[in-house]
Amino acid sequence: MAALNMLWTGLALLGILGVLQIPTQAQAALQPNFQEDKFLGLWFTSGLASNSSWFLEKKTALSMCKSVVTPAADGGLSLTSTFLRKDQCETRTLLLRPAGPPGCYSYTSPHWSSNHEVSVVETDYKAYALLYTESFRGPGQDFSMATLYSRTQVPKAEIKEKFTTFAKAQGFTEDGIVFLPQTDKCMEEDP
């Protein structure tokens, strides 16, 4: 019986120590008084951050993409993104369904068939927006990403610094933060 108690005590201690070694992540808040109508229009995906193995493997092959946000017919937002893939322009549309307070949405990934929650954490509507996305697919398969949207293809240095600070506050490491290179392909401003 004493051996069993020692085993449970040891496991509990390992659990506590394991938790203490995991970096704490700041919970992503929402943009106060989010105004969906001001968020509509053309955005460029200028920066991404994630610690997922997929992202870390592919990040050097990624380039800037454009996204057009419009109101969806049945509520929420329609997000149409155009990006360069294998030297061709591809376009994908996601329906962002309201999922709580204003600025919080959910969507189903067409590629993974998993549900994602995306939050508009901070925006000035005119120059930048910081978004945080997470998905819970199962043990060891959770996914999270920070995204920098900018209204122009060249965000100001202070906006890039704001994104870096935000991404690090979410627990992303320096090697998991990337500013996407500009490309002339697929960037026409007409949706």
Q: How far apart are CA 3 and CA 8, in angstroms?
A: 9
For residue 115 the two structure tokens come to 């549900």
| Nearest Cα residue to 45 out of 177, 165, 150, 163 | 150
Cβ atoms of 155 and 46 within 8 Å: the answer is: yes
Residue with tokens 């500009």: 182
Q: Which of 65, 89, 104, 186 is catalytic?
A: 65
| 104 belongs to the catalytic site | no
| Nearest Cα residue to 175 out of 25, 7, 57 | 57
| Nearest Cα residue to 127 out of 165, 166, 156, 147 | 156
| Termini Cα distance of the chain | 70
Q: How far apart are CA 122 and CA 138, in angstroms?
A: 28
Percent helix / strand / coil, the chain, rounded to 5: 25, 35, 40
- Just list the catalytic residues: 65
